[in-house]
Amino acid sequence: MNILVTGSNGQLGNEMRTLASGSANRWLFTDVTVVEGVETIPLDITDKDAVESICSDYSIDCIVNCAAYTNVDKAEDEEKLAYRINAYAVGLLAEAAAARGALLIHISTDYVFKGINVRPYIEDQPTDPLGVYGRTKLAGEKALCESGCRFIILRTAWLYSPYGNNFVKTIRRLTSERDSINVVFDQVGSPTYAADLAFAIFDIIENDKSQGCEGIYHFSNEGVCSWYDFAV
């Protein structure tokens, strides 16, 4: 099986790379930028021809889309860019997957919901994103659902790892630079270790668990805390 991973320089992509090193399948890691010393195929997922070409040239059987525009606040000022990466590009990946009969595993977010529930959201609850980031991610989900390709959407939350940019690394940096910092305590969620999400994806692919299981799923680690608790 030939598996294409997009956004491989990020948190989840790096964890997928670690797991794939022991796989008998052929894993291809791509990103829009190439890091020196890391084997990565350059790929702009917003380029229709490039997406179709790489899927055809490497006979891709499965795509894991880890690429995303994830700056929630900045998305308010860069809506077109966020939409292009989080929605338009997902549509291109879905078209390429559908043309080959390939499976597309797409990573989404809890931001597709309004975020006011006192209980955890379940998969079939109505979506109602508040900001640009959530709206663009929801648009990507809809593009995928309407594409006709085989897909699994994994919504996750509060991802952290040793790689990329995340809340844990930001807090560690700020506490080394300042005597005190302010962190909100009225927002709660489930911090999710990227390695655990990566293993779930790896298990689906390596053990061929996708048959009959296409759809939308929520994935997070157990437990709930506030941003303040997470920081402490």
pLDDT greater than 80 at residue 118 = no
Under the banding of pLDDT at 50, 70 and 90, the label for residue 179 is: confident
CA distance 116 to 218: 17
State the burial class of residue 114 (Cβ atoms within 10 Å of its Cβ: 0-12, 13-18, 19+).
middle
Determine what percent of the chain is predicted with pLDDT higher than 70.
100
Domain boundaries, the chain: 2-161+193-222
CA distance 204 to 185: 35
Q: How many Cβ atoms sit within 10 Å of the Cβ of residue 83?
A: 19
**Between vectors from CA 38 to CA 36 and to CA 44, what angle results, nearest 5°?**
85
Per-position b or e across 192-216, b if 16+ CB within 10 A of its CB:
bbbbebbbebbebbbeeeeeeebeb
Average pLDDT over all residues of the chain: 94
Determine what percent of the chain is predicted with pLDDT higher than 90.
75
Average pLDDT (124-138) is 97
1-21: per-residue pLDDT in tens?
Answer: 999 999 999 999 999 999 998
39-86: per-residue pLDDT in tens?
Answer: 899 999 999 999 999 999 999 999 999 999 999 999 999 999 999 999
Q: Are strands 225-226 and 188-189 parallel, antiparallel or unpaired?
A: antiparallel
pLDDT at 183: 86
pLDDT greater than 90 at residue 124 = yes
| 160 annotated active-site | no
pLDDT greater than 80 at residue 113 = yes
Highest mean pLDDT among 36-45, 115-124, 154-163: 154-163
CA distance 35 to 33: 7
**Given 69, 111, 133, 163, the catalytic residue:** 133
DSSP state at residue 84: I
Instruction: State whether CATH 2.60.120.200 applies to domain 2-161+193-222.
Output: no
pLDDT at 230: 86
Position 29, amino acid = F
